[in-house]
């Protein structure tokens, strides 16, 4: 048998067929429908494939099967660990299911998201995972026109036009706020990120407004980052705020708030309680350790992977799935009773 082709002259179907003494059609059947090929012939072709180092390209596989086995995910950013953790769980499960994952970031910009979605679909992505419920009409129309399976993560809503697989942001915020009030906190400042195009943050604010009689009493909007949380606390201290607790609607802002309070010599929770939402891994390592609400994003990522993959393979729309948020009591919330 001849030497395997070099990297510059990679083996193709014809090389395999010639070396195995079969037709190109037989090699194709071994690759796509091996049960239709006699065992002796199948083994000879498979051995030749291994010896020549033949690797079928994704383009060729798509042509032969009509499938690319590639899915896309659109997330606001990769700077926030919550999305990195979600995507890691999603990708690991998709690999087990025989799919690859391509990720694009949107910066919470619906127009940018629509452009990125079109690029992914134009490049053969078979289904999409979207984040949240704020999307353009153009995106919805594109999904419907192309019959593209799409699921939504980071929220749960049984009435939404696409299947949602995620946590209930309204419940998560209510759980956090009610924990603070149950510990005797009466003057709670809400620190949150921008609400434009972010339905997750808005849902959390709506929950707190309901619990405060229809309108949030005290809130500070800031950048959704550690820096944003620190800046919000600096502003509150400069104003001489006398609140007794801070509820940060994201752990990353709570990290910044804790850092700034420590710099200002404010003792947590003796002088001021601090609470977050997400339960990122670093929440258990802050000083003091952050009390927060756990959002099961790994579970969400795995179930989103299973839902979109099953829809692509079996053409069965998945049902909405809620992953439950839970309270995690640590050291940053004092009992004022």
The 10s digit of each residue's pLDDT in 45-57 is 999 988 887 776 6
- All domains of the chain in start order, with CATH: 7-64 (1.10.260.40), 69-167+297-324 (3.40.50.2300), 169-294 (3.40.50.2300)
Place of tokens 């153009």: 138
DSSP letter for each residue of 231-258? HHHHHHHHTT---SEEEESSHHHHHHHH
On the question of pLDDT at 218 being above 90, the answer is yes
Q: Provide the pLDDT for residue 36.
A: 83
For range 291-296, the mean pLDDT: 98
The 10s digit of each residue's pLDDT in 14-60 is 889 999 999 988 988 888 778 788 999 999 999 998 888 777 665 55
% of residues, the chain, pLDDT over 90 = 81
For range 253-263, the mean pLDDT: 97
Tokens of 233: 């606390």
Confidence band, pLDDT 50/70/90 cuts, at residue 5: very low
Smallest CA-to-CA distance from 233 within 216, 252, 251, 220 is with 220
The 10s digit of each residue's pLDDT in 131-155 is 999 999 999 999 999 999 999 999 9
Q: Rounded to an integer, what distance in angstroms lies between the CA atom of residue 173 and that of residue 116?
A: 31
Considering only the C-alpha atoms of the chain, give the largest distance between any 2 of them, rounded to a whole number of Å.
85
State how far the alpha carbon of 243 is from the alpha carbons of 217, 252, 272, 281, 316, in Å. 11, 20, 8, 28, 51
Beta bridge partners of 104: 74
The reply to whether the predicted model has a pTM over 0.85 is no
Phi, psi of 243 (to 5 degrees): -65, 160
Q: Rounded to an integer, what distance in angstroms lies between the CA atom of residue 88 and that of residue 65?
A: 27
Q: Provide the pLDDT for residue 57.
A: 60
The 10s digit of each residue's pLDDT in 102-134 is 999 999 999 999 999 999 999 999 999 999 999
State how far the alpha carbon of 124 is from the alpha carbons of 72, 120, 217, in Å. 10, 7, 49
Q: Provide the pLDDT for residue 73.
A: 98
Q: Rounded to an integer, what distance in angstroms lies between the CA atom of residue 322 and that of residue 168?
A: 7
Q: Rounded to an integer, what distance in angstroms lies between the CA atom of residue 281 and that of residue 272?
A: 23
Q: How many CB atoms lie within 10 A of CB 107?
A: 9
Q: Provide the pLDDT for residue 4.
A: 46
Q: Provide the pLDDT for residue 64.
A: 57
For range 174-184, the mean pLDDT: 98
On the question of pLDDT at 10 being above 80, the answer is no
């Amino acid at each position: 048998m001849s030497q395997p082709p070099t990297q510059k002259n990679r083996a193709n179907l014809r090389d395999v067929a010639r070396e195995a003494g079969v037709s190109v059609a037989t090699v194709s059947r071994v690759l796509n429908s091996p049960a239709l090929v006699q065992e002796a012939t199948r083994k000879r072709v498979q051995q030749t494939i291994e010896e020549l180092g033949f690797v079928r390209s994704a383009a060729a596989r798509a042509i032969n099967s009509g499938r690319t086995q590639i899915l896309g995910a659109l997330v606001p950013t990769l700077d926030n660990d919550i999305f990195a953790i979600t995507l890691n769980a999603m990708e690991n499960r998709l690999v087990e299911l025989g799919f690859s994952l391509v990720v694009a970031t949107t910066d919470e910009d619906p127009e940018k998201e629509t452009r990125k979605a079109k690029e992914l679909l134009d490049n053969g992505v078979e289904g999409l995972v979207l984040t949240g419920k704020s999307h353009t009409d153009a995106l919805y129309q594109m999904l419907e026109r192309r019959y593209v399976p799409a699921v939504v993560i980071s929220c749960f809503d049984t009435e939404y036009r696409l299947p949602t697989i995620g946590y209930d942001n309204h419940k998560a915020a209510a759980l956090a706020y009610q924990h603070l009030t149950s510990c005797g906190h009466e003057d709670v400042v809400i620190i949150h990120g921008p609400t434009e195009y972010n339905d997750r943050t808005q849902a959390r604010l709506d929950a707190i407004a309901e619990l405060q009689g229809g309108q949030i009493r005290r809130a500070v909007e800031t950048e959704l980052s550690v820096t944003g949380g620190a800046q919000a606390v600096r502003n509150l201290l400069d104003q001489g705020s006398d609140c007794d607790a801070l509820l940060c609607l994201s752990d990353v802002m709570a990290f910044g708030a804790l850092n700034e309070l420590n710099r200002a010599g404010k003792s947590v929770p003796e002088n001021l309680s601090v609470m977050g939402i997400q339960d990122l891994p670093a929440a258990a390592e802050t000083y003091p350790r952050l009390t927060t609400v756990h959002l099961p994003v790994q579970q969400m990522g795995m179930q989103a992977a299973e839902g979109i993959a099953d829809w692509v393979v079996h053409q069965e729309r998945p049902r909405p799935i809620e992953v439950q948020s839970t309270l995690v009591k640590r050291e940053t919330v004092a009992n004022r009773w």
